[in-house]
Chain A
Amino acid sequence: MDPLYLALSLYRRRSYDKCIEVCTSILDKQPLDQAAWCLKMRALTQRVYVDDIESEEIPEKDFLDDNVLATAPRPGTSMKTAVVPSTSGLSSRPRTSTGRPISGIARPGTQMRPESALDRVRTARPLTGHSARSIRLGTAAMLTQKDGPFIQISRLNLSKYAKNPCLSKPLFEYLFYCDGGVRTAMELAVQATQHGEFKDWWWKVQLAKCYIAVNLIREAEQQLRSAIKQHYHVETFIRLTRIYYRVDQPLSAIDICKSGLEIFPKDVTIMTELGRLSEGLNDTAMSVKYYRNILVEDAMNIEAVASLGMYHFYNNQPELALRYYRRALSMGAHSAELYNNLGLCCLFSQQLDFTIPYFQRALDLATDLKVKAEVWYNLSHLAMAAGDVQLAVQCLNLCLCSDSTHAPAFNNLAVLYHKMGKINLAKAYLTSAKTLEPELAEVHVNLEYLQHA
């Protein structure tokens, strides 16, 4: 069999390492074989490729960031000033420290609470916009190459490759994903767009990707807008939405999504984006509508199932929430968080016989200390519902054993101790809750109450 055919077949069968080996041996014999070179590049890229739309991290507010358009936006036009609805019901939906509702599914950029004291200690230099992930990918790829890097980036004649339509795109992906050299990739993209007389939408999207990586948001927006004019592609719409999200223009982001939906009706990816955006703007009704539409289109969408489950839970319908979470469970999501949610749903829908086994499972599965702490915290609610104050205190103590920065647990402990008559202890716990998470409203109310009592 021709070695090139073998390499192609291995590439198709996803045996990237073997494919790289075969390509290397071809290149040893014929160092100028473009086909083998290209295939090796593709295999190297595929090996480390991650869908960068889903894993995109929106960086912390940068110190020199002047991309945000309005510094004092009007209510409802920004993520920060989203109208907070007056919630009623058994328990209002928890919010992150920035006041946004917590989403039903964990994805980059939805951390629940400040992670630990260490994380909160910011260095004097603020974080830059470049995500750490891409750097890590690059280094991982370099490590596996024993005899130096595959391509000597510094010696690359970019203008030559930019003119070669067959090599420029794979080379770009290699540079962007595998090598992590955004700058070189960007240079290549600029030259290739020029060479293609600005007719290739793909290069514009890639250029936008590079601009986002180096935090030139406005330039990225221009490129994406121009790409959309040329060619409709779901990815372009999503990327443009993300850009508006990043410059805190959620309404523009929603507009983009809606125009995307006109071209790609019922597209799950765009609807997911809309669901998330509406959620961020506290527009629960719209968000739920989109998530429901997603389920009609794609009944296996875990994010929609989880988000709807959470919506029903905080909407005083734990029975409905239970159904959604059971669906997620039967689809094979087997995690501590899910069991924990199931336990809570059972607790609030009075199916007490199931509650404890669910929590038991959650505890068995929780290996992460943070998750364990949350499970114990929720178990304390079970104890409180049963009226067993001693047990509740113990659960909360166990929660604090796993995570000593859990402010709500401190708050609840304080309330329990106050009930027991240990007012000083309650005060002490409230103070520590306050220092851990100053945004927690309950703590302030409780402290005030104690002060006046």
Chain B
Amino acid sequence: MSLFKTREFWTTQSEDVEYFDQNSMITTSLNGDSNYVITGSQSGVLRIFKPSCEIVDNDINGFLPTDLVVEKVFDQPILQIGCGRLVSGSLVYQTAILNPRYLSIYLLKIKESSVEHITQTTFEVIYDHHLQRSAANFTIGQFGGSQNRDFICVQFLDGMLSFYEQENLTFSCFLSDFLLPSPMTYVKKTDSFITGNGNWAIVSYKYNTLSESGDQKDVKSNLSNKAIPVWTYNLGESIIDIRVVEDDVNKLNYIMILGEKNLYCLFDSGRLNFMKKLEYSPVCFEVYLINEKFFSLVVSETTNLLVYETTTLKWSAKLQFLPISIRRAFFKNVKGVLVFLSEEGRLECSYLGTEPNLFVAPPLIERELDLEKVEDELSNLNKMIKDTYGNDLKLTNKNADKEINIKINVDKNLEPCIFETNLKDVPNLQMCTVNIEVIPQMAFDEVQISLAVSKPLKVEPSTQFFINPDELMAVKCHVYLSDDMNVPSLFLNVVVTVISSLGVPRNFNKAAMLPLSLVAEVCPAHKEGDHKVTLNINQNMVPLLNLFPEFAEDTKSTSSIAFKSLSTNAQPVTILLAKSSERYRIQTSSFTSLSFVIEQLIHRLTKHHSNIDEFKMLFNSSLPSNEVIAYVKNHFTKRREVFELEDFLDQLSAQFRTIQKRLISKFKVKNPTPLTNLEILIKDTYTEILKTVLKLQEANGELFKAQTELTCALNLIGNLIKIMNIDDKLKEILLSVFCPSVEDLDSQNWEDVMDSTLCYLLRTYLAKSEKDKLRISQTNVEKVTDISKMEKHLVQVLERISKTENISLEQIEDGIEEEQPNPELEKEEVKPLGSQFGEASMRILSARRSLSRRRHKKDEQ
């Protein structure tokens, strides 16, 4: 991120595929008045540039072919270039070129010709040293205080240093703690070499010490004799580059180090001058001193050039590319040019442009407001709101067949069950195969087919998921009885949930009846039964064998048939035909078995008479309330047991955690203290937890049984309500109340929901008097603590249903309309839950008072 951008005025790019590194470029004036730029690639191409930089019309000219002074190809890669007075007896600057196995010294000679601007250039080798090992880099300097002569120190990949005093190899030595070669520099004032070692520290070696430890003749013999550094500075990171800055005024030398995370400046004595934590990863840097102020140019990996004066950021500019090496150069007409070299050989001279490079976001399409488009956008946004707030009506679809086709094929022939069940004593348990075919009529993204059966039945697999279905999706699954209980209902529900290609979720429902023989078998009829239900029909009787053709073989009697559920303690359910009237009588000693038989009977009768419009079944006696209440009670107590156990488990685990915490803090203490029997406590708690969990498991099983029984009872009531002579609208509402699914959530029991719906029913649709209707219906669901109240409500509802068979619907509707227009008034009338009972007792009180008053009056009379 930066406001500014560097401006380049001179660019050239190497045409071949070449690679450069940080030592591949130097800027030097050699023997001329302005700087040369010398580059040497890893492919072995050496180029010497001398940017002419003539100022023409206030503008600097760019790269000219004549700016390239020398181009020479070496056989070996060029690792580093340097320059200095490297030939004995000569005060002329030569160029040193380091190849992996050669160190060569070249001299650049330029002869001016008589014609202007034409020069003759020669670049010839003066001498070279053959190297025994692979070289890494070198340093040039006036080692040992020599005047007007430059020596070279070559660092090898294995940590050896070789010193060349011009044409002669003086000595070689090894560095201690060396693993990988690191950048190296020479400090003239202290006559020492600074480099990084393998321990990520900066070390300084005196030239004298090195020469003492080294040996000119035999390098291999003195491997053990390693030089000892004068000082070390523990940097803690490996270094990228290292430079020396000479302050000529104060006669001080500073060492600037670019680490991987920080920029450091050390005194030549090895103390820290300043450091700066870099918030980016640096690539290369250049340092210089102006008026005793340090300026560091750091290039970051994000192609920014940052200029620091000591630690203060002075300038930051965006670069055109990521350079691997940066140098300053002084040309004839332009001073202080920044020269960048990229890895691929792009060479660029640039200056820090002061013209801000303001970030300009791509312009918005600012045309005249296109009303149609804006309208479109608005409607889109409105649609978005609508979609999110969309009502649930959208989820179900009336003309589902147009979008999806669901076929359920229930196989009448049963197979032996292959799944593991909890039924132990049933010898030949069978399962039913169900094939479902779903044919999408339009494009869907995702389709999920899920199947649901009432609880002791199980379906395997219960869901199937498809992505981007294009044709028929077939699901084959098996339904079987998994627990030793009575089945409430034999309906199989198939729910297909889809997400259409537009991202709209939908679902489709379809139900099918499972074969009766899956859960029941025929048995001898019983004449007697505790529970009796009588169904009337307004058509001629259908013989039982016609209704249950699949059991025709096993039955002898035509007037009665009996079924027995497959569970262990099942009681037979007998269906009897009345001799004179159109009645079916179903009797049994087990109430829960009634449910599926009646469901079957109703289903089959309706099916049989499906082509007769006026066919009607009727149930006109009172609904069996006592039995239902017994099951509700049972469920309630079981649920409560589970609750208590869960609470207890909660307590225990909290206790367990506390002991754990206590123990941990005890163990953490350095001087161990006695455990004070905590270990016994934790063991005890642990066993208690295990016990409770087992109990809870048992209780959950019991609860499950109670839930199933309750579901049976509710399903029976629901089926009976279906065929009662009640208004359709009311019937629908009642059916939704007696929904045969008992769910106990963590925070809400079935009773809680049921009670509030029952109260609502009692106060609205099944209200006895106008006064009841005026009272506001119960809205909030509260926890049922006293089951007897709820029982009372349930009995009332069941009684009133039987009574209100002929209730006129108009009244009800009037009631609803009266309620709606003034919802706020209602809110104010909300009474707390208990108040009705209070009122009732108030009424009793007042009744008593009036009674006693009358008595008084009588007495007086």
Q: Which residues of A contact B (CB under 8 A)?
A: 1-2, 4-5, 8-9, 12-14, 34-35, 38-39, 42, 51, 54, 63-64, 66, 165-167, 169, 200-202, 205, 231-235, 264, 266-269, 296-300, 302, 329-334, 357, 360-361, 364, 394, 397-398, 400-401, 404, 423-424
- Among candidates B178, B197, B358, B384, residue contacting A330 with C-beta atoms closer than 8 Å: B358
The answer to the question of B127 belonging to the interface, with a C-beta cut-off of 8 Å to chain A, is no
- Among candidates B200, B306, B361, B668, residue contacting A361 with C-beta atoms closer than 8 Å: B361
The answer to whether B198 touches A166, judged by C-beta atoms less than 8 angstroms apart, is yes
The answer to whether B384 touches A269, judged by C-beta atoms less than 8 angstroms apart, is no
The answer to whether A42 touches B238, judged by C-beta atoms less than 8 angstroms apart, is yes
A273 to chain B, nearest CB (A): 11
Contact A2:B134 (CB < 8 A) given known A264-B275, A297-B311, A400-B388: yes
Residue of A nearest to B76 (CB): A1
The answer to whether A297 touches B313, judged by C-beta atoms less than 8 angstroms apart, is yes
The answer to whether B359 touches A234, judged by C-beta atoms less than 8 angstroms apart, is no
Residues on the A chain within 8 Å of B19, using CB: 9, 13
A201–B827 alpha-carbon span in the complex (Å): 72
The answer to the question of B751 belonging to the interface, with a C-beta cut-off of 8 Å to chain A, is no
The answer to whether B3 touches A232, judged by C-beta atoms less than 8 angstroms apart, is no
Known: A401-B385, A424-B823. 8 other contacts (CB 8 A): A8-B181, A34-B179, A63-B661, A166-B179, A266-B312, A394-B381, A397-B389, A424-B824
The answer to whether A169 touches B312, judged by C-beta atoms less than 8 angstroms apart, is no
Report whether over half of chain A's contact residues are helix, strand or loop; otherwise say mixed.
helix
A39–B179 alpha-carbon span in the complex (Å): 9
* Top 5 closest pairs, chain A to chain B, by CB: A166-B198, A166-B179, A2-B134, A202-B236, A165-B199
The answer to whether B385 touches A232, judged by C-beta atoms less than 8 angstroms apart, is no
Residue of B nearest to A200 (CB): B234
The answer to whether A266 touches B1, judged by C-beta atoms less than 8 angstroms apart, is no
Max chain B C-beta neighbours (<10 A), residue from A64, A300, A398: A300
The answer to the question of B664 belonging to the interface, with a C-beta cut-off of 8 Å to chain A, is yes
Q: List B residues 374-402 near A (Cβ within 8 Å).
A: 381-382, 384-385, 387-389
Max chain B C-beta neighbours (<10 A), residue from A165, A167, A205, A266: A165
Residue of A nearest to B199 (CB): A165
The answer to whether B77 touches A202, judged by C-beta atoms less than 8 angstroms apart, is no
The answer to the question of B726 belonging to the interface, with a C-beta cut-off of 8 Å to chain A, is no
The answer to whether A38 touches B3, judged by C-beta atoms less than 8 angstroms apart, is no
Max chain A C-beta neighbours (<10 A), residue from B134, B234, B657, B668: B234
A232–B667 alpha-carbon span in the complex (Å): 35
A332–B180 alpha-carbon span in the complex (Å): 39
The answer to the question of B493 belonging to the interface, with a C-beta cut-off of 8 Å to chain A, is no
The answer to whether A300 touches B157, judged by C-beta atoms less than 8 angstroms apart, is no
The answer to whether B364 touches A401, judged by C-beta atoms less than 8 angstroms apart, is no
A4–B664 alpha-carbon span in the complex (Å): 52
The answer to whether A334 touches B359, judged by C-beta atoms less than 8 angstroms apart, is yes
- Among candidates B22, B197, B198, B665, residue contacting A12 with C-beta atoms closer than 8 Å: B22
Residue of A nearest to B313 (CB): A298
A333–B274 alpha-carbon span in the complex (Å): 31
The answer to the question of B454 belonging to the interface, with a C-beta cut-off of 8 Å to chain A, is no
The answer to the question of B150 belonging to the interface, with a C-beta cut-off of 8 Å to chain A, is no
Residues on the A chain within 8 Å of B76, using CB: 1
Residues on the A chain within 8 Å of B388, using CB: 397, 400-401, 404
Contact A300:B134 (CB < 8 A) given known A13-B21, A360-B364, A394-B381: no
Chain B 186-213 interface 0/1 with A at a Cβ cutoff of 8 Å (1 = within): 0000000000011110000000000000
A233–B259 alpha-carbon span in the complex (Å): 13
Max chain A C-beta neighbours (<10 A), residue from B136, B199, B240: B199
A329–B359 alpha-carbon span in the complex (Å): 7
A329–B2 alpha-carbon span in the complex (Å): 10
A415–B665 alpha-carbon span in the complex (Å): 51
The answer to whether B276 touches A267, judged by C-beta atoms less than 8 angstroms apart, is yes
A233–B264 alpha-carbon span in the complex (Å): 11
The answer to whether B234 touches A331, judged by C-beta atoms less than 8 angstroms apart, is no
- Among candidates B21, B277, B824, residue contacting A9 with C-beta atoms closer than 8 Å: B21
A205–B236 alpha-carbon span in the complex (Å): 10
The answer to the question of B301 belonging to the interface, with a C-beta cut-off of 8 Å to chain A, is yes
Chain B 654-679 interface 0/1 with A at a Cβ cutoff of 8 Å (1 = within): 00010011001100100000000000
The answer to the question of B316 belonging to the interface, with a C-beta cut-off of 8 Å to chain A, is yes
Contact A267:B311 (CB < 8 A) given known A4-B157, A5-B157: yes
The answer to whether A398 touches B312, judged by C-beta atoms less than 8 angstroms apart, is no
Residue of B nearest to A13 (CB): B343
- Among candidates B200, B262, B311, B660, residue contacting A169 with C-beta atoms closer than 8 Å: B200
The answer to whether A298 touches B312, judged by C-beta atoms less than 8 angstroms apart, is yes
Residues on the B chain within 8 Å of A269, using CB: 277, 279
The answer to whether B277 touches A300, judged by C-beta atoms less than 8 angstroms apart, is no
The answer to whether B384 touches A401, judged by C-beta atoms less than 8 angstroms apart, is yes
The answer to whether B385 touches A234, judged by C-beta atoms less than 8 angstroms apart, is no
The answer to whether B238 touches A332, judged by C-beta atoms less than 8 angstroms apart, is no
The answer to whether B311 touches A266, judged by C-beta atoms less than 8 angstroms apart, is yes
Residues on the B chain within 8 Å of A14, using CB: 283, 301
A117 to chain B, nearest CB (A): 16
The answer to whether B316 touches A300, judged by C-beta atoms less than 8 angstroms apart, is yes
The answer to whether A9 touches B42, judged by C-beta atoms less than 8 angstroms apart, is yes
Residues on the A chain within 8 Å of B236, using CB: 201-202, 205, 233
Residues on the B chain within 8 Å of A234, using CB: 262, 275, 277
Residues on the B chain within 8 Å of A360, using CB: 364
The answer to the question of B511 belonging to the interface, with a C-beta cut-off of 8 Å to chain A, is no
The answer to the question of B770 belonging to the interface, with a C-beta cut-off of 8 Å to chain A, is no
A167 to chain B, nearest CB (A): 7
Residues on the B chain within 8 Å of A35, using CB: 157, 179-180
Residues on the B chain within 8 Å of A299, using CB: 313, 316
Q: List B residues 788-847 near A (Cβ within 8 Å).
A: 823-824, 827
Residues on the B chain within 8 Å of A8, using CB: 136, 180-181
A219–B386 alpha-carbon span in the complex (Å): 58
B178 to chain A, nearest CB (A): 7
The answer to the question of B79 belonging to the interface, with a C-beta cut-off of 8 Å to chain A, is yes
